[in-house]
């Protein structure tokens, strides 16, 4: 959650912008998917039936942690219970749910997306596939919450994908990363059996990333081992 509080209108605008970005990248298609962001006890979430690529702030509803409406004229997404569950169990700052093509394709055939690239460790490693549940049901929400344990991404069998992060930008970034990883796996599987990173290799990557400050900029010539 953000340290500096935004107004409800700022939250609604940020969710609309995130939807536009995800739609431009091909992760949100039509009304399929939903996005939310939390600030304190207030959650801004896309309304049900919204064409997400054209989402306006008025099509984002604001609810409390109990799901009660605080602002807006439209009913929240049918997956509101899933969003609320992620906020409550994992202290997330934002949640993205998509029916992105490559992630959804893998959700049809895999029980888990194994760790095939070191960037996957940013999501926690292998990505579990939550068992199928009807959209908008407590059963589906519980399946996904269990699949997210120790992870910031999960696939949803025969449905789509969900990611979360401490900020809306990070949740969107995680959704894009997950779709890239799914595409990578799909293309590799067409050629042969994808080679996986074992536990020792994953540990070595984490150790190297921490030692070198991987993913952060630093002045030229600075000792990368510090």
- The residues carrying an active-site annotation are 79
Distance CA 145, CA 115 (A): 20
Closest-CA residue to 168 (of 59, 47, 14):
14
Residue-wise burial string across 74-85, b where 16 or more C-beta atoms lie within 10 A, e elsewhere:
eebbebbbbbbb
CB 47: neighbour CB atoms within 10 A? Answer: 19
Quick one: tokens of 160? 């789509």
Residues 6+ apart with CB under 8 A from 11: 37, 39, 42, 44, 60, 62
Closest-CA residue to 32 (of 103, 118, 110, 98):
98
């Amino acid at each position: 959650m953000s340290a500096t509080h935004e107004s409800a209108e700022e939250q609604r605008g940020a969710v609309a912008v995130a939807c536009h970005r995800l739609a431009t990248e091909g992760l949100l298609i039509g009304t399929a998917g939903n996005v939310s962001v939390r600030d304190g006890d207030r959650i801004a979430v896309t309304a049900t039936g919204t064409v997400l690529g054209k989402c306006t702030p008025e099509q984002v509803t604001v609810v409390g942690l109990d799901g009660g409406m605080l602002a807006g004229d439209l009913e929240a997404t049918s997956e509101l219970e899933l969003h609320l569950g992620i906020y409550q169990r994992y202290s997330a700052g934002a949640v993205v749910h998509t029916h992105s093509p490559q992630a959804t394709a893998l959700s049809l055939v895999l029980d888990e997306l194994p760790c095939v690239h070191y960037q996957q460790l940013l999501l926690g490693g292998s990505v579990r596939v939550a068992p199928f549940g009807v959209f908008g049901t407590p059963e589906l929400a519980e399946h996904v919450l269990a699949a997210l344990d120790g992870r910031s991404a999960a696939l949803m069998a025969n449905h789509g994908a969900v990611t979360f992060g401490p900020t809306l930008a990070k949740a969107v970034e995680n959704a894009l990363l997950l779709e890239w990883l799914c595409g990578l796996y799909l293309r590799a599987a067409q050629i042969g059996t994808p080679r996986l990173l074992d536990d020792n290799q994953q540990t070595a990557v984490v150790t190297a990333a921490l030692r070198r400050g991987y993913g952060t900029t630093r002045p030229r010539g600075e000792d990368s081992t510090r």
